[in-house]
């Protein structure tokens, strides 16, 4: 199951998993992406707002009822809003936490008994390279993504004996509807060229290939970690 799979990174993950033969349940508020032509896996749409616990329970039950049952969850749905910290509205801060942190936790929590009943599985939460950085105007978003990485570590520790692994995939700049306008800005492109060793933003497909590859191998000892996919941006120079 992939949350927020209607566009951007989530849609690319759903399509890459289908390309690799997985049956993918897209938990979306709008449309789900189509499976790529010739893909051996299928994509199903299940309506879900991850801020609504009952909707999450119903959606995960529906995903578990698909052929093969629930084997993994990609917590991708997320929102971003910037603004100066000095007058950032608390309601906006709470809304970001409600989706990025509580929503992610709710999906994992409600997925837990279903995965456990099937002998375990893999939860991948989409964090951010900014989880450890100080970024002007992004205090709320950075705090929410630091919390996602913390959730991953704690759930991995708590659920390891149930055969459930939890990993965080933390992208740097990725060209998606969330960031496209900013990435069109010449100054942002110049910044990426000078500061990112790879010199550019990632594509959603690159992030999707990393996430899908994690489902390709069942490595029991690999859990709790955060994997950065940022073209080397976070390692500094
Ligand atoms: P987009 O804005 O393109 O897509 C986000 C998706 O999340 C949308 O499909 C949206 O659905 C869905 N969503 C938001 N809130 C909810 C909700 N309450 N319930 C269900 N679905 C919801 O963003 P990206 O693809 O860029 O981002 C995906 C993830 O990657 C996010 O967690 C983001 O923080 C993270 N990320 C992105 C980076 C980037 O540079 N793009 C960098 C690092 C991390 P709807 O269409 O209904 O609004």
- The predicted structure's pLDDT at residue 237: 65
Q: Is 219 strand, coil or helix? A: coil
Q: What is the pLDDT of residue 126?
A: 98
Q: What is the mean pLDDT of the chain?
A: 97
Q: Whose CA is nearest to atom 31 of ligand 1?
A: 78
- Sequence-distant (6+) residues with CB within 8 A of 116 are 159, 162, 163, 164
Whether the predicted pLDDT of 101 surpasses 80: yes
* Angle, alpha carbons 42-59-2 (nearest 5°): 50
d(CA 161, CA 188): 45
Please measure the distance between the N-terminal and C-terminal CA atoms of the chain and give it in whole angstroms.
Answer: 37
CB atoms within 10 A of CB 219: 9
- Between CA 233 and CA 237 the distance in angstroms is 9
Give, as one character, the DSSP assignment of residue 201.
P
Q: Does position 236 have pLDDT exceeding 80, yes or no?
A: no
Q: How far is the CA of 126 from the centre of ligand 1 (A)?
A: 9
Indicate the SS3 state at residue 193. helix
Angle at Cα 197 formed by Cα 195 and Cα 202, nearest 5°?
95
Q: Which of 1, 3, 5, 10 gets mutated to test ligand 1 (max ligand atoms within 8 A of its CB)?
A: 10
DSSP state of 86: G
What's the whole-number mean pLDDT along residues 84-90? 98
Centre of ligand 1 to C-alpha 67, Å, is 27
Q: pTM of the entire structure?
A: 0.98
How do residues 55-74 score in pLDDT, each as one tens digit? 999 999 999 999 999 999 99
> What are 102-152's pLDDT values in tens digits?
999 999 999 999 999 999 999 999 999 999 999 999 999 999 999 999 999
Local confidence band at 45 (pLDDT 50, 70, 90 cut-offs) = very high
Residues touching ligand 1 (Cβ under 6 Å) are 3-4, 6-10, 29-30, 49-51, 76-80, 99, 103, 126, 128, 171, 173-174, 176-179
Mean pLDDT, residues 24-32 = 98
The catalytic residues are: 141
User: In whole angstroms, how far apart are CA 155 and each of 94, 108, 148, 167, 216?
Assistant: 22, 9, 10, 9, 21
What pLDDT, on a 0 to 100 scale, did the predictor assign at position 15?
A: 98
């Amino acid at each position: 199951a992939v949350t927020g799979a209607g566009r951007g990174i989530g849609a690319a993950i759903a399509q890459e998993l289908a390309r690799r033969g997985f049956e993918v349940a897209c938990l979306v508020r709008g449309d789900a992406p189509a499976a790529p032509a010739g893909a051996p896996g299928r994509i199903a749409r299940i309506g879900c707002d991850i801020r609504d616990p009952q909707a999450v329970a119903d959606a995960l039950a529906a995903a578990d009822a698909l052929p093969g049952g629930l084997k993994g969850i990609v917590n991708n749905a997320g929102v971003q809003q910037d603004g100066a910290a000095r007058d950032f509205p608390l309601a906006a801060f709470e809304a970001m936490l409600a989706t990025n942190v509580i929503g992610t936790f709710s999906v994992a929590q409600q997925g837990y008994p279903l995965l456990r009943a099937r002998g375990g599985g893999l939860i991948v939460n989409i964090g951010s390279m900014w989880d450890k950085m100080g970024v002007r105007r992004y205090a709320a978003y950075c705090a929410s993504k630091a919390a996602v990485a913390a959730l991953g570590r704690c759930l991995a520790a708590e659920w390891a004996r149930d055969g459930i692994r939890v990993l965080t995939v933390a992208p740097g700049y990725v060209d998606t509807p969330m960031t496209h306008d900013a990435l069109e800005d010449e100054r942002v492109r110049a910044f990426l060229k000078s500061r990112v060793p790879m010199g550019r933003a990632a594509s959603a497909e690159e992030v999707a290939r990393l996430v899908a590859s994690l489902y390709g191998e069942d490595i029991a000892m690999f859990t709790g970690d955060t994997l950065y996919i940022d073209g080397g941006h976070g390692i500094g120079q």
